[in-house]
C-alpha cells in the first residue's frame, strides 16, 4: 500500500486538487448567484432573475465537465493529450462565449425594460424602445452564435464572413424565410411610420378590436375587450386598412340608428332619441360658438332611409374617446328602446311574404295519379 501511494502520490494529489477545485468553484458560483440576485432586485425590483439562473447552471456544468477532462489526463497516454487539450480549450471557449452572450442580452433587456417603464411613467411613447429591445437581444444572441461557430474549423469561414459586415444581412436573408423577412420589414415600417403605437385602440376588422400591447419583430399583439390576446403577423397588419381611435383627436362621433314602423310617429321618435342622447352624462358638446348662437341642438337627429318594413332614424352623438362612445352607445340603445315602448313607438319585426303559385300542370298530374290526389286532399 505504501509503495502504491509513493508511486501514484503525484496523481492522487492531482486528482484531489481537481476535485477540490471543482467543489470550490461550484460553491463560489452559488455565492455569486445569490449576490447577483440581491443586486438585481435592488436595481431592478420586480424583475425575474432568469438570466442569472442560466449563468449559474452553465458555470456549474462547465466546472464539472472541465474537471472530468482534467481527471481524464490521468488515464490516457501521451498520444491523446493533444485531443484532450483541444476539447478542454473548446469547452472553455464555448462556456465563456455562452456566459458573455447571456450577460449581454440580459443587460440589454433589463436596460430597455427600465427605460420603457420610465417612458410610461412620464407619459411618453414606449413603442420604439419595445421594438428596439427585441432587435438588440436577438442581435446579441446572433453575434454570440457566430462567435461560437468560430471554434469549429468547418464553420469558421461562415462565421468570419458573417462577422465581417455585409455577411450578416446575407446570412439572415439566406436562412430566414420570405415570411419571416416580410414580418421583420413590416415591423420596421410600423415603428418608422407609426400608424399605431403601444396603448392605442385600433380596429382591424369587426372581430379584431382592442388595445395594442406589444410590437415584436414578427407580430403585433392586441388585447381585445374580452381580455383575449390577438396575435397578428406584421406583414398582414401592415397591409390592412385599420382604424386608429387614438391617432389625432380622441373625440369620436357615433351614430345611433333605430328603425321604426311606418305607422309610428316620426316626430315623436326623433324627439325621444334627441332627449335620451342629450341627457346622457358621457355626451360631448361638439358645437362651435356659432352653432350655439344659432340655437343648434347638441344632438342632431334625422330620418336617413326608407326600408321595406321600417324607416331608419339616426342620431349623431359625440363622445370624449372610443371607450366613452362604446359605453354611451350601449346605454342609449337600452334607454331609447324603453322610451319607445312607453310612448308606443313600434320597432317592427322583419316582414316576409311567401307566395305559393299553382301551375297549370298540377290538375293534369293529379288526374294521372289518383293516389297522389287523395293524399293532397
| Statement: residue 272 has pLDDT above 90 | yes
pLDDT band at 41 (very low <50, low <70, confident <90, very high): confident
Q: In the prediction, which pLDDT does 269 show?
A: 94
Q: What's the whole-number mean pLDDT along residues 341-359?
A: 83
Q: What's the whole-number mean pLDDT along residues 225-237?
A: 89
pLDDT band at 260 (very low <50, low <70, confident <90, very high): very high
Pairing of strands 219-224, 229-233: antiparallel
| Statement: residue 177 has pLDDT above 60 | no
Q: In the prediction, which pLDDT does 373 show?
A: 43
Please spell the DSSP secondary structure of 267-332, one letter per residue: HHHHHHHHHHHHT-TT------HHHHHTT--SSEEEEEEE-SS-EEEEEEEEESSHHHHHHHHHHH
Q: State pTM to two decimals.
A: 0.53
Q: What's the whole-number mean pLDDT along residues 188-206?
A: 85
| Statement: residue 98 has pLDDT above 80 | yes
Residues 205-225 pLDDT 10s: 878 889 999 888 788 999 988
- Rounded to 5 degrees, what angle do the CA atoms 308, 342, 303 make? 35
Q: In the prediction, which pLDDT does 372 show?
A: 45
Q: In the prediction, which pLDDT does 163 show?
A: 56
Alpha-carbon distance 272 to 184, whole Å?
53
Residue 261 DSSP class: -
Q: In the prediction, which pLDDT does 374 show?
A: 45
Provide the total of helices (H) and of strands (E) in the chain, helices listed first: 14, 8
Which residues, in sequence order, are CB contacts of 107 under 8 Å at separation 6+? none
- Rounded to 5 degrees, what angle do the CA atoms 290, 291, 296 make? 155
| Statement: residue 66 has pLDDT above 50 | yes
Residue 351 DSSP class: P
Which residues, in sequence order, are CB contacts of 167 under 8 Å at separation 6+? 161
Q: What's the whole-number mean pLDDT along residues 151-170?
A: 59
Q: In the prediction, which pLDDT does 174 show?
A: 52
Q: In the prediction, which pLDDT does 120 show?
A: 72
Amino acid at each position: 500500500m505504501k509503495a502504491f501511494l509513493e508511486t501514484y502520490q503525484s496523481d492522487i494529489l492531482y486528482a484531489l486538487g481537481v476535485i477540490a477545485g471543482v467543489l470550490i468553484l461550484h460553491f463560489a458560483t452559488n455565492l455569486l448567484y445569490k449576490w447577483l440576485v440581491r443586486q438585481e432586485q435592488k436595481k431592478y425590483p420586480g424583475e425575474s432573475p432568469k438570466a442569472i439562473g442560466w449563468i449559474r447552471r452553465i458555470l456549474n456544468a462547465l466546472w464539472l465537465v472541465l474537471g472530468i477532462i482534467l481527471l481524464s489526463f490521468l488515464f490516457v497516454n501521451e498520444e491523446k493529450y493533444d485531443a484532450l487539450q483541444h476539447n478542454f480549450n473548446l469547452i472553455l471557449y464555448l462556456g465563456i462565449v455562452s456566459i458573455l452572450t447571456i450577460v449581454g442580452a440580459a443587460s440589454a433587456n433589463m436596460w430597455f425594460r427600465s427605460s420603457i417603464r420610465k417612458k410610461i411613467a412620464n407619459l411618453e411613447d414606449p413603442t420604439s424602445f419595445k421594438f428596439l429591445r427585441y432587435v438588440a437581444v436577438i442581435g446579441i444572441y446572433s453575434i454570440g452564435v457566430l462567435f461560437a461557430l468560430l471554434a469549429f474549423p468547418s464553420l469558421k469561414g461562415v462565421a468570419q464572413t458573417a462577422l465581417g459586415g455585409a455577411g450578416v444581412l446575407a446570412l439572415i436573408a439566406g436562412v430566414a424565410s420570405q415570411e419571416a423577412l416580410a414580418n421583420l420589414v413590416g415591423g420596421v415600417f410600423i415603428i418608422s411610420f407609426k400608424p399605431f403605437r403601444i396603448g392605442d385602440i385600433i380596429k382591424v376588422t369587426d372581430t379584431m378590436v382592442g388595445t395594442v400591447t406589444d410590437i415584436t419583430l414578427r407580430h403585433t399583439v392586441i388585447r381585445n375587450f374580452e381580455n383575449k390576446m390577438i396575435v397578428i403577423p406584421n406583414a398582414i397588419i401592415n397591409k390592412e386598412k385599420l382604424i386608429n381611435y387614438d391617432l389625432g383627436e380622441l373625440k369620436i362621433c357615433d351614430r345611433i340608428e333605430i328603425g321604426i314602423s311606418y305607422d309610428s310617429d316620426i316626430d315623436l321618435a326623433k324627439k325621444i332619441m334627441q332627449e335620451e342622447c342629450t341627457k346622457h352624462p358621457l355626451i360631448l358638446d361638439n358645437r362651435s360658438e356659432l352653432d350655439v348662437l344659432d340655437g343648434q341642438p347638441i344632438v342632431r337627429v334625422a330620418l336617413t332611409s326608407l326600408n321595406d318594413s321600417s324607416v331608419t332614424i339616426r342620431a349623431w352623438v359625440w363622445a370624449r374617446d372610443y371607450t366613452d362612445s362604446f359605453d354611451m352607445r350601449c346605454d342609449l340603445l337600452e334607454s331609447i328602446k324603453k322610451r319607445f315602448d312607453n310612448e308606443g313607438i313600434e320597432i317592427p319585426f322583419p316582414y316576409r311574404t311567401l307566395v305559393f303559385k299553382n301551375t297549370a300542370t298540377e290538375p293534369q298530374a293529379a288526374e294521372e295519379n289518383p293516389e297522389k290526389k287523395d293524399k293532397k286532399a
